[in-house]
């Protein structure tokens, strides 16, 4: 009896199914998934892989996307230049090339805590103070941060980078940081869009960037309970690839899934494109370990629900590196879907599309992803269509356009599109597709086909690359998001757009801003709305200031319309001014009380949230 019980407990702790061996190199060592010198693979001053980018030759009227990683790779985009010139005022006469590098001698000299370094050597944890490694971990992906990399540098960057390879390594580093009064800023994928990774300029203590990406193992998979225990530094694409070997997935697909880390998802309360059926990160989370200055915080069991006071997981979710380092996470996992199908529906106007989205949520229809794009994004999507590979394609497109605009009477300047992704058993997917299409017809929609749905879904992964090209021609662009009740979706979208246009006039912008929005996630009581904004900064003496003033005005309008300060990007530093308004003075005090107890020496002094 005792032996049986011990066996049960062992399976519970270690998972019901042992993991396969990880790939090993010729020396028998486990191959790293992410190189320590990340800048050798991804851009140091922009988004994504070094071999993937939009390239323009405006003299030849050609823009194309390089590389073979994405479906758009090595294809010409014949309409993109015309769109950029017409909508954004882009001109070949104005070109702002990024600096080639930031030289080591320009970067801040590291502050050194010799006692900390001596202890670090004893525990044999890898580290470096190499300038370019420090620079790479000094920022995230906000527009301001990338502009600084292109045009200047940062006044404060980490003094040291450490690479722990396990939970126990992190425990040692945090102990040493407390002992020697050193600051720790956790670093995962580096995709933050809230300024969360920037070093506070006034910090005079040694700052250590604790890079978690060498902690990237799946420790166990429990096929009976559909859970997996995973180190927090693993990147999204690697996590899904490894789980797929066992016939499972998490279903969590944020736009940054290729580059963002599991720990980062938890630390920002992330959401993904397929949350309809898989949930947000808080819905997937079964168990989490976090190393704090006071020790390790975690629950004593891995159960679907527990009633024992306020949920400590919700102290950790969204903590943005202010309380400790997330080291290990147990997630709910799902069998890989048997069948996938894409779809798309065009509607005569945005109002009809919103009504459709509301009804989809009300009827509890569950496509993996359903997203509504306004007319500006619809036109933008057409501009990103690659050159036709068949002589028949342009002819067919003309016929489709004729049918939609002339026969059905859609106004091409008002129409919008919904893209769909359905996953599950084949019969369930086909049944759901019929219901979704029937509902689309009810609200005046027309099926736009599977290929358009697939292309729209996959474009998500390349849109972020456009900002780097936009910078080259003086266009500053960024996205921001919110969540809002259903009855305020339309008013919020229109009011935010109008507010930005008014502010643009006040600041004397030479061209009207590009403003676009889409409904990306649906809930019973509301939706997530994503905004895209781009401004042509030619002639502006301080373009960063102007852009940030416009975005701040947009955020003020969002809150005035009943929207949230953020749906999933988090607070970081750039949205701190709205935190008290969002959670109340008492709520902010509660956050600070937790911070004071958990981190009395302010080791995790990144300046985010309540700090």
Helix/strand/coil for 527:
strand
Query: How are beta strands 526-536 and 514-522 bridged, if at all?
Result: antiparallel
In angstroms, the CA 235 to CA 164 distance is 16
Neighbouring-strand partners of residue 229? 220, 330
In angstroms, the CA 113 to CA 118 distance is 9
In angstroms, the CA 27 to CA 5 distance is 40
Per the CB < 8 A criterion, the answer to whether 158 and 205 are in contact is: no
Helix/strand/coil for 167:
helix
530 is catalytic: yes
In angstroms, the CA 291 to CA 295 distance is 6
In angstroms, the CA 331 to CA 532 distance is 31
Residue 572 CA from chain centroid, whole number = 14
Q: How far is CA 410 from CA 6, 401, 405, 450, in A?
A: 68, 10, 5, 20
Taking alpha carbons only, the member of 280, 236, 288, 241 closest to residue 257 is 236
Neighbouring-strand partners of residue 534? 477, 514
The end-to-end CA distance of the chain, in Å, is 52
**Which residue, chain included where needed, has tokens 């992906």?**
141
Per the CB < 8 A criterion, the answer to whether 252 and 264 are in contact is: no
Catalytic residue among 278, 356, 473, 530: 530
Per the CB < 8 A criterion, the answer to whether 555 and 480 are in contact is: yes
Annotated catalytic sites, by residue?
530
């Amino acid at each position: 009896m005792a032996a049986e019980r011990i066996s049960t407990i062992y399976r519970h702790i270690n998972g019901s199914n042992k993991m396969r061996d990880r790939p090993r190199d010729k020396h028998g060592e486990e191959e790293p998934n992410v190189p320590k010198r990340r800048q050798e693979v991804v851009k140091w001053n922009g988004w994504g892989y070094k071999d993937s980018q939009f390239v323009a030759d405006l003299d030849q009227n050609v823009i194309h996307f390089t590389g073979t990683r994405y479906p758009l790779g090595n294809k010409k985009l014949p309409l993109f230049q015309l769109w950029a010139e017409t909508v954004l005022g882009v001109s070949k006469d104005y070109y702002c090339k990024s600096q080639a590098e930031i030289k080591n001698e320009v970067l801040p000299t590291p502050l050194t805590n010799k006692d900390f370094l001596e202890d670090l050597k004893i525990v044999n944890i890898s580290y470096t103070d190499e300038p370019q490694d420090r620079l790479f971990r000094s920022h995230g992906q906000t527009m301001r941060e990338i502009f600084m990399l292109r045009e200047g540098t940062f006044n404060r960057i980490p003094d040291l980078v450490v690479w722990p390879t396990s939970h126990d390594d992190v425990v040692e580093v945090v102990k040493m940081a407390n002992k020697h009064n050193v600051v720790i800023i956790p670093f995962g994928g580096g995709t933050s869009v809230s300024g969360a990774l920037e070093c506070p300029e006034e910090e005079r203590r040694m700052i250590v960037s604790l890079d978690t990406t060498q902690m990237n193992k799946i420790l166990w998979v429990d096929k009976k309970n559909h859970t997996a225990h995973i180190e927090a530094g693993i990147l999204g694409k690697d996590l899904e690839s490894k789980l797929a070997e066992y016939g499972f997935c998490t279903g969590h697909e944020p736009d940054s899934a290729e580059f963002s880390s599991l720990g980062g998802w938890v630390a920002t309360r992330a959401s993904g494109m397929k949350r309809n059926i898989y949930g947000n990160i808080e819905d997937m989370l079964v168990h989490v370990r976090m190393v704090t200055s006071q020790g390790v915080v975690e629950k004593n069991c891995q159960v679907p629900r527990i009633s024992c006071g306020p949920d400590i997981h919700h102290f950790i979710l969204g903590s943005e590196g202010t309380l400790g380092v997330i080291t290990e996470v147990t997630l709910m996992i799902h069998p890989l879907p048997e069948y996938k199908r894409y779809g798309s529906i065009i509607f005569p106007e945005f109002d009809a599309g919103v009504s459709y989205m509301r009804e989809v949520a009300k009827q509890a229809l569950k496509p993996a992803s359903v997203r509504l794009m306004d007319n500006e994004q619809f036109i933008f999507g057409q501009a990103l269509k690659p050159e036709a590979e068949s002589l028949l394609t342009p002819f067919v497109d003309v016929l489709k356009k004729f049918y939609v605009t002339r026969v059905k009477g859609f106004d091409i300047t008002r129409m919008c599109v919904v893209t769909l992704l359905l996953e599950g058993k084949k019969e369930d997917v086909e049944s759901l597709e019929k219901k979704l299409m029937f509902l689309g017809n009810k609200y005046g929609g027309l099926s736009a086909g599977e290929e358009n749905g697939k292309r729209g879904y996959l474009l998500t992964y390349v849109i972020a690359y456009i900002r780097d090209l936009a910078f080259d021609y003086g266009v500053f662009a960024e996205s921001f998001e919110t969540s809002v009740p259903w009855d305020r979706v339309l008013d919020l979208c229109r009011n935010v757009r109008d507010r930005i246009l008014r502010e643009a006039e006040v600041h004397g912008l030479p061209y009207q801003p590009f403003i676009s929005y889409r409904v990306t996630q649906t809930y019973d009581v509301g939706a997530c709305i994503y905004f895209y904004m781009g401004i042509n900064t030619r002639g502006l003496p301080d373009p960063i200031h102007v852009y940030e003033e416009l975005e701040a005005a947009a955020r003020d309008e969002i809150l005035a319309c009943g929207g949230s300060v953020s749906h999933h990007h988090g607070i970081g530093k750039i949205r701190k001014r709205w935190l008290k308004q969002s959670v109340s003075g008492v709520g902010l005090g509660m956050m600070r009380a937790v911070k004071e107890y958990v981190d009395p020496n302010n080791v995790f002094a990144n300046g985010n949230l309540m700090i």
